[in-house]
Amino acid sequence: MTRPTFHDFKKKALRDPGVRAEYESLSAAYHLRKKLIGLRKKAGLTQEELAVRAGLSTGTVKNIENKGQSSIESVVRLGLALGLADHFQELFKLQVKSIAQMDQAEQSKRIRASRRVIK
C-alpha cells in the first residue's frame, strides 16, 4: 500500500466546498503578495524604500509581503507607489447596466418589517 502524497490529500480536501472556498480566498491573497513582491524587486526597491515611497512603515510592508496582513488603504498605497494607478482605475470602473438589470436589482432588495409592536 502506498502512502498518500500531499497532492492526494489536497485533492481530497478540496472536494469540500468550505475548504475550497477558503483555499481560493487564501490563494488570491497569496498571488497578490507574490505580485507585489515581484513588482517591488523589479523596481529595484527594498522594503524600506518602498515603505518610504508609500508613506507606510517598514513593518507594514513586511506584514503585507510575509503574512498578507494589511488594510485596503495600505495595499492601495503600495500599488500607487509601484505605479499601478491605472490598474486600480480599471478595478473600480463603473459598470454600466441596462435598465432591466437595474429594475431587477431594485426588486430583489429586502423589504424590512415594521418595527411597530402590535398589542
Going from N- to C-terminal start, the domains of the chain cover 6-92
Mean pLDDT, residues 4-33 taken together: 88
Helix (H, G, I), strand (E, B) or coil at 115: coil
Question: What integer pLDDT is reported at residue 4 of this predicted model?
Answer: 84
- Each residue of 23-73: pLDDT tens digit? 888 888 888 899 999 999 999 999 999 999 999 999 999 999 998 888 989
- For residues 96-100, give the mean pLDDT: 74
**If we measure between CA atoms, which residue out of 87, 70, 79 comes closest to residue 39?**
79
pLDDT of 103 higher than 70: yes
CB-based contact 109:117 (threshold 8 Å): no
CB burial of 36-46 (b: ≥16 within 10 Å; e: otherwise) equals beebbeeeebe
pLDDT: which is higher, 78 or 100: 78
Question: Domain spanning 6-92 has what CATH number?
Answer: 1.10.260.40
- Residue 109 is predicted with a pLDDT of 65
Portion of the chain with pLDDT greater than 90, in percent = 39
Q: Which residue shows C-alpha cell 477558503?
A: 22
